[in-house]
Structure 1
Amino acid sequence: MANWIGLMMRAVYYYCHLIGLTNFDYEPRTGRVYKSWKTTFYTATVNTAITVLAYHWTGQMDSSLFGNVNELQEYVIVFMSGLRIIGGLVTLLNRWRQRKQLMELVRNILRLYVANPNMNSLSRWGFLVKFFTTLAVDLVSIILAVDVTGRVSLAQALALFLQFWTSSILNLAILQHYLVILFVRVQYQLMNTELRNIIEESERLCSLPRRRAAFMTRCCYLSDQLEDIAKLQSQLQLIVSQVGKVFGIQGLVVYSGYYLFSVVFSYLTYSLFKNGSKNLDLALRTIILGYSLNFFYYLDAMLNLFNVLLVLDDHKEMLRLLAKRTLFSSGLDVRLEESFESFQLQVARNPFEMNVMQLFPVNHYSTTAMCGSIITHSILLIQYDMENF
């Protein structure tokens, strides 16, 4: 299984280079991250081609691709098509703007990965589900584009190709973000397991009679382990901070896209039930492909969201484990006591949080508020359609 994971990771690596998302190179086995003129030249050429195609796209996409629609539906469809392309272009621009910071982030991740190469076996299911979900989104998008291109002009076909290209760029960028957070999540799980063992061992030491040499030796050993965990937690928090800076603009685009697509999907579903597929001139095959695409799209979105929320939960679990320290009876070695206090002070001074460009946090409460807002704006859009069309 681990070999298959390695092959899939390699495939993702080359595909990111192929479509022009990654503009530098790295070697997972050695942890080396570097620039090369071949990669720089190829990526710049591909990005320029996408930009030129996007410039000529203006005005080529219209609602005739999707059957008979009213003015509001046409506006919504064209707006969402443009948003997909803008999202991909913004992602590419941000990759050049923060190339150095992204390379440093990858270097920090590889440094920890090289120290623990067995992480593939621990994160394989999270990676496999995400990999096949992302692959399904791209495949269904291609099939839907092929289904639609039979009744469009060459210019409109190029516009569809541009949408697919930029959507693939954004999907792969989201996959990269997911893999980084998955890496942090697995590290937290390992760290919590070790911390739980240290807590249990410390509790046993408090209840045992002291034998000077053996007692101090064991406490020093636990203190070393605790300091290693504290160091790892600090490195993981640094990685999360770097992720927030490097993927900040992309995160804003992605969350805006999820929000707007959810509202639009609710409205278009209402329109389909209101007008019927015949009145909208939509074939059953097209409807099935469209809903299949939305199913995998939102499944992918849920995987991304829960991946972040689980990391936050793992950090809370670590805080809960550290809080058990106050239940110990006094009597541990001074060095071990100081290690516990230092670790608790470290996490207290540096709260672990995730946010999007400091605009809003990503947690359970903001997610619930976002879902409520989506429902509200979906109802408002449907009401507007009922009153005017």
Structure 2
Amino acid sequence: MVDLVKWCLVISYYYGRFTGVLNFEIDFKTGRARVTKRATICSALAHMIMCLLLGVQMTNVRVMAKLWSQANSLHNNMFWVMSCVRMTGVFLSLVNRWSQRRTFISLYNSIYSLYQHDPKIIQYCRRSIVSKCFCATVYETLQIIIVLIVTSNQLTISLAFGIWSILSLTSIINVIITQYFTAMALIRGRYRLLNKELRSILAETQSLIPNKSGVFVTKCCYLADELENISKAQSSLQALIERLSKAYQLQIICMFITYYLNFVANIYLLFSISKYSSIMENWPIVVKVGGLVFLVFYYLDCWLNSYNVLYLIDAHGDMIKLLSQRTLFQPGLDERLETVFETFNLNLARNPFKIRFFGLFDINRSTSFALGNSILTHSIVLIQYDVQNF
């Protein structure tokens, strides 16, 4: 499984280089990131081609809607808005990549140092990384196959450029999300490992019989040192998360808006398919089945993206709950050990764990629930408008 994770990361790296999202190289011998002329030129060329595609797409933002024989003005406007938002988001993300290239290199080196310090963190996040890469690959491949089959009889140069640009934008979005996902998954793995070590320290502390013997004092000093190391590691992890969120905040906001519109549009399109049954009457059965599978993997991928962050928040919450067990200790513990526990608790209370972007919102389960309600509300508004006017 570790080798499978390695291949997923290597493929994601070269995919990032191919799309130009990664404008630096990674030395596989040392594992360190660095700026090279080759990486800069390749990324710049990829972005020049992308800008050309964006320009072509701006003149053909309604071309995909024309594939629907029963497309109405609402469908056209919906495709137009989604195309413009997606293009704007990708453009801003690429600009952000160049303006903060040194920051992203520093972040990569920090994440790699995290793994290098303790490779066992892969054990706690390998399933998430493999699942994410598999889902993203499946739904992106299905998207390409479905579009090629549907457009095979009416493919023109203009339509081909439009399809190519849309698929390219989707690839860039996937690369950015996968990079952020992988970084957060590795941090979560480190958190879970720290919680495991903390449980062991708590178990040993609870088993102590307070007395003034040399063995007791030595054991308390050892546990205090180990607890201090966990506290320092947690503080470093939280600082790394803040750096990561700050560097990715523009890209995440752009991707968030894109995913939001995709959810609303997909719900409305499912309604349109049921209402305008003739839309799919000429589609091969393989396209219909492929479209259903595509939606399953697309929403599964979104679920993985959301819960990857939520599970990290849960891991931090587990650490707070574990530290609350100090009230169960027998009285008379070593003063230094008591002080370290108290300091650790105070540090967590003074610096609450939050993942925030531009100060607009925090990511948590309450926010996710509110987002789901908002998506459902806007989808119903679109459906009502369609029913009333078409």
Question: Do these two structures clear the TM 0.5 threshold for a shared fold by scoring above it?
Answer: yes
In structure 2, C-alpha distance between the alignment counterparts of 1:144 and 1:288, rounded to whole Å: 10
In structure 1, C-alpha distance between the alignment counterparts of 2:100 and 2:281, rounded to whole Å: 44
Give the alignment of 1:178-193 within 5 angstroms: 178-193=181-196
One-letter code of the match for 2:186?
F
In the TM superposition, residue 134 of structure 1 has moved relative to its aligned partner by 0.9
Q: Is the 8 A contact 2:20 2:43 kept in 1?
A: yes
Among 169, 173, 196, which residue is 1:166 paired with? 169
Among 95, 98, 110, which residue is 1:96 paired with? 98
In the TM superposition, residue 112 of structure 1 has moved relative to its aligned partner by 1.5
Under a length normalisation based on structure 1, what TM-score does the superposition of the two structures give?
Answer: 0.94
Point out the more displaced range, 279-288 or 226-235.
Answer: 279-288
Q: Does 1:119 align with 2:121?
A: yes
Point out the more displaced range, 8-17 or 155-164.
Answer: 8-17
In the TM superposition, residue 29 of structure 1 has moved relative to its aligned partner by 6.0
In structure 2, C-alpha distance between the alignment counterparts of 1:106 and 1:159, rounded to whole Å: 34
One-letter code of the match for 1:12?
S
Q: Does 1:305 align with 2:309?
A: no
Name 1:256's counterpart in structure 2.
Answer: 257
In structure 2, relative to structure 1, the CA distance for the partners of 1:224 and 1:31 (3 Å cut) is farther
Under a length normalisation based on structure 2, what TM-score does the superposition of the two structures give?
Answer: 0.94
In structure 1, C-alpha distance between the alignment counterparts of 2:219 and 2:200, rounded to whole Å: 13
Q: Give % identity.
A: 34
Point out the more displaced range, 70-79 or 214-223.
Answer: 70-79
Name 2:332's counterpart in structure 1.
Answer: 331
SS at structure 1 position matched to 2:125: helix
In structure 2, relative to structure 1, the CA distance for the partners of 1:87 and 1:141 (3 Å cut) is farther
Point out the more displaced range, 344-353 or 253-262.
Answer: 253-262
Name 2:317's counterpart in structure 1.
Answer: 316
Point out the more displaced range, 27-36 or 145-154.
Answer: 27-36
In structure 2, C-alpha distance between the alignment counterparts of 1:162 and 1:100, rounded to whole Å: 28
In structure 2, C-alpha distance between the alignment counterparts of 1:135 and 1:319, rounded to whole Å: 37
In structure 1, C-alpha distance between the alignment counterparts of 2:185 and 2:82, rounded to whole Å: 29
Among 194, 198, 209, which residue is 2:197 paired with? 194
Point out the more displaced range, 171-180 or 324-333.
Answer: 324-333
Point out the more displaced range, 150-159 or 301-310.
Answer: 150-159
In the TM superposition, residue 244 of structure 1 has moved relative to its aligned partner by 1.1
Point out the more displaced range, 336-345 or 61-70.
Answer: 61-70
Point out the more displaced range, 289-298 or 184-193.
Answer: 289-298
Give the alignment of 1:161-240 within 5 angstroms: 161-205=164-208, 208-210=209-211, 212-240=213-241
In structure 2, relative to structure 1, the CA distance for the partners of 1:209 and 1:244 (3 Å cut) is closer
**Structure 2 unaligned spans of 5+:** none
In structure 1, C-alpha distance between the alignment counterparts of 2:288 and 2:280, rounded to whole Å: 13
In the TM superposition, residue 78 of structure 1 has moved relative to its aligned partner by 2.8
In the TM superposition, residue 376 of structure 1 has moved relative to its aligned partner by 1.2
Q: Does 1:372 align with 2:343?
A: no
One-letter code of the match for 1:194?
E
Name 1:78's counterpart in structure 2.
Answer: 80
In structure 1, C-alpha distance between the alignment counterparts of 2:111 and 2:307, rounded to whole Å: 21
In structure 1, C-alpha distance between the alignment counterparts of 2:34 and 2:145, rounded to whole Å: 37
In structure 2, relative to structure 1, the CA distance for the partners of 1:105 and 1:279 (3 Å cut) is closer
In structure 2, C-alpha distance between the alignment counterparts of 1:356 and 1:281, rounded to whole Å: 45
RMSD between aligned alpha carbons? 1.8
In structure 1, C-alpha distance between the alignment counterparts of 2:93 and 2:146, rounded to whole Å: 24
In structure 2, C-alpha distance between the alignment counterparts of 1:77 and 1:281, rounded to whole Å: 21
In structure 2, C-alpha distance between the alignment counterparts of 1:350 and 1:31, rounded to whole Å: 32
Point out the more displaced range, 247-256 or 277-286.
Answer: 277-286
Give the alignment of 1:32-43 within 5 angstroms: 32-43=32-43
SS at structure 2 position matched to 1:187: helix
In the TM superposition, residue 306 of structure 1 has moved relative to its aligned partner by 0.6
In structure 2, relative to structure 1, the CA distance for the partners of 1:40 and 1:278 (3 Å cut) is closer
In structure 2, C-alpha distance between the alignment counterparts of 1:58 and 1:281, rounded to whole Å: 29
Deviations 1:104-148 (A, max 9, x none): 111211111111123333322111111100111221121122123
Q: Is the 8 A contact 1:29 1:114 kept in 2?
A: no
Q: Is the 8 A contact 1:277 1:283 kept in 2?
A: no
Q: Does 1:148 align with 2:150?
A: yes
One-letter code of the match for 1:175?
T
Point out the more displaced range, 190-199 or 86-95.
Answer: 86-95
**Structure 1 unaligned spans of 5+:** none
Deviations 1:35-62 (A, max 9, x none): 1111011101111111122112222242
Give the alignment of 1:338-349 within 5 angstroms: 338-349=339-350
Q: Does 1:47 align with 2:47?
A: yes
Among 157, 161, 169, which residue is 2:160 paired with? 157
Deviations 1:367-386 (A, max 9, x none): 11111111111111111111
Deviations 1:13-39 (A, max 9, x none): 112111111011234663422111110
Deviations 1:321-372 (A, max 9, x none): 1111133232111221111111111111111011222111110101111111
In the TM superposition, residue 315 of structure 1 has moved relative to its aligned partner by 0.7
One-letter code of the match for 1:317?
D
In the TM superposition, residue 281 of structure 1 has moved relative to its aligned partner by 5.8
In the TM superposition, residue 295 of structure 1 has moved relative to its aligned partner by 2.0
SS at structure 2 position matched to 1:152: coil
In structure 2, relative to structure 1, the CA distance for the partners of 1:363 and 1:201 (3 Å cut) is same
In the TM superposition, residue 7 of structure 1 has moved relative to its aligned partner by 2.4
One-letter code of the match for 2:171?
S
Q: Is the 8 A contact 2:68 2:279 kept in 1?
A: no
Deviations 1:239-278 (A, max 9, x none): 1101211110111112212221111111111111112135
Give every structure 1 segment of 4 or more consecutive aligned residues whose post-TM-superposition deviation is greater than 6 Å.
Answer: none
One-letter code of the match for 2:57?
W
